[in-house]
Amino acid sequence: MSLKNLPGAPESRPSASVRSEILPRALERWNRELRAAVAENEEDRSISVYDVIGYDYWTGEGVTAKRIAAALRSLGAGPVTVNVNSPGGDMFEGLAIYNLFREHKGEVTVKVLGLAASAASVIAMAGDTVQIARAGFLMIHNAWVIAAGNRNDLREVADWLEPFDAAMADIYVARTGLEAKAVANLMDAESWIGGSAAIEQGFADELLPSDQIGRGEAKASAAAVRRIEAVLRSTGIPKSEAMRLISEIKSSAGDPAGGGEGDPTGRGAADMSRTAALAASLTDIL
């Protein structure tokens, strides 16, 4: 079971006539050559997500829930590292894989090496710790599907998809602590979130170890946020509530990401030294 209090996600397909597909823009931006720096071997407790999510009818490959379940059974209980570089794909398969990692009995570390788009971004949220490359990206959006039928069928498909979009939004909210409205706006806009921005907004916890040298103020800011989160979580507050409080603190310091109004991707002039000071005072109080 995940160390974090993460929400579950629906897995069943709304209809056999509906297929969740890869967004063409995500496929164009994906560099399939990106891999983990250290070669995997039998002693590694790592799983690679280096392909489209779901079965790829063109190549005969793809990352499926069946494959991930087999890999987790092979590794057994204990820590596991998930290396991700994927343009996304089948949303329903992605939700199932997210649940598999969420239910794994051991700490899950997700490393976004290049791109975690669409369904792959949902999978990334299952990590107890999420690391991202400085030049890496997350992309979040509403479900993009191909459906067939008359106008009544298509209206029904739209209604069917609403709970799946809501489930993805709940996952992002639980991870980041952002307001639901802000996350919905990000999804509506098809948002591409770079490494540093992903950390600032709570989608990721830290940069990849190879990118952490020379981070300067960004490193201090992320460390301060994690310190406050740890203090709040020690009192029994869920992660989502802790991140919401941190978001409010950042908002009061001038960071628009915490306000929950509109698109929180803007970078404010927040004075994170005030955040660090608050962390120290919270430690004294608690």
Environment class of residue 214 by beta-carbon count within 10 Å: exposed (0-12), middle (13-18) or buried (19+)?
exposed
Q: What is the CATH number of domain 1-213?
A: 3.90.226.10
N-to-C CA span, the chain: 28
Q: Domain segments of the chain: what residues? A: 1-213, 214-286
Residues 6+ apart with CB under 8 A from 134: 195, 196, 207, 208, 211
Please identify every stretch of the chain with a pLDDT value under 50, giving residue numbers as ranges. 17, 39, 42, 214-219, 255-272, 285
pTM score of the predicted model: 0.70
Predicted local distance difference test score (pLDDT) of residue 228: 77
Predicted local distance difference test score (pLDDT) of residue 269: 40
